[in-house]
Structure 1
Amino acid sequence: MGTETGEQPHGATVVADGFGLKGPRGWAFREVSFRAEPGALVAIEGPSGSGRTSLLLALTGRMKAKEGHAEVGGLPLPRKMAAVRRISALGQVPGVSELDPAFTVAEHLRERALLQRRFDGSVRALLRRPAERAATSRERIDEALKAAGLDLDALPKGERTSVRDLERLEALRLSIALALIGRPRLLAVDDTDLKLSDADRAEAWALLRSLAASGTTVLAVCSEAPADALRITTVPGGSEDEGEATATATTATATATATATAADADPAPAPDATDTTDTTTEEGAADALAETGRA
Structure 2
Amino acid sequence: MTTRPSSEGEGGEPGAALVVEGLGLKGPRGWAFREVSFRAGAGSLVALEGPSGSGRTCLLLALTGRMRTHEGHAEVGGLPLPRRMAAARRIAALGQVPGVSELDPSLTVAEHLRERALLQRRFDGSVRALLRRPGTRAAETRARIDEALAAAGLDPAALPKGERTSVRDLERLEALRLSIALALIGRPRLLGVDDTDLKLSDADRVAAWALLRSVADSGTTVLAVCSEAPADALRITTVAADPDTTGETAEPAPDGRTADTARTGRGTKTGADTATPGADAKTTAEDDTTEEGADDALAETGRA
**TM-score using structure 2 length:** 0.82
- Indicate how the Cα distance of structure 1 residues 38 and 252 shifts in structure 2: closer, same or farther if over 3 A, else same: closer
Give the Cα–Cα distance (whole angstroms) in 1 for the partners of residues 295 and 222 of structure 2. 23
Counterpart for residue 264 of structure 1: 291
Q: SS at 1:285's partner residue?
A: coil
Report the equivalent of 2:124: 120
Q: Deviations over 1:7-64 (max 9, x none)?
A: 9752100110011100111101111110000000000000110000000000000000
CA contact (8 A) 1:228 1:252 kept: no
Q: 2:234 aligns with which of 214, 219, 230?
A: 230
Which amino acid in 2 is paired with 1:285?
R
Find the residue that maps to 2:61 and give its secondary structure: helix
Question: Cα deviations across residues 79-98 of structure 1 (Å, max 9, x unaligned)?
Answer: 00000000000000000000
Could you say what secondary structure the match of 1:114 adopts? helix
Contact 1:211 1:218 in 2 (8 A): yes
Question: What fraction of aligned residue pairs are identical, expressed as a percent?
Answer: 75
Structure 1 segment 164-243 matched on structure 2, within 5 A: 164-237=168-241
Question: Does the CA-based 8 Å contact 1:233-1:249 persist in structure 2?
Answer: no
Which whole-Å CA distance do the structure 2 matches of 1:40 and 1:205 have between them? 13
Question: Shift in Å at residue 126 of structure 1?
Answer: 1.1
The aligned residue for residue 144 of structure 2 is: 140
Per-residue deviation at 1:198? Answer: 0.3
Whole-angstrom distance in 2 between the partners of 1:133 and 1:8: 20
Name the CA distance, whole Å, in 1 between partners of 2:133 and 2:202: 47
Distance 2:79 2:105 in 1: 35
Q: Secondary structure at the match of 2:180?
A: helix
Change (3 A) 1:251 1:45: farther
2:50 alignment counterpart: 46
Q: 1:87 and 2:91 equivalent?
A: yes
Deviation at 1:249, TM superposition (A): 6.5
CA shift digits 1:112-139 (9 cap, x unpaired): 0000011001111111111111111111
- The number of residues matched between the two structures is 266
Equivalent residues of 2:157, 2:163 under 8 A apart: yes
Query: Structure 1 9/121 Cα, relative in aligned 2: closer, same or farther at 3 Å?
Result: closer
Alpha-carbon spacing, 1:54–1:181, altered in 2? closer, same or farther (3 Å)? same
Q: How far does residue 270 in structure 1 lie from its aligned partner after superposition?
A: 8.7
- TM-score of the aligned structures, taking structure 1 as reference length: 0.85
Aligned partner of 2:166 among 138, 141, 162? 162
Q: 2:68 aligns with which of 48, 64, 69?
A: 64
Report if the CA contact (8 A) 2:67-2:298 is conserved. no
2:297 aligns to what SS in structure 1? coil
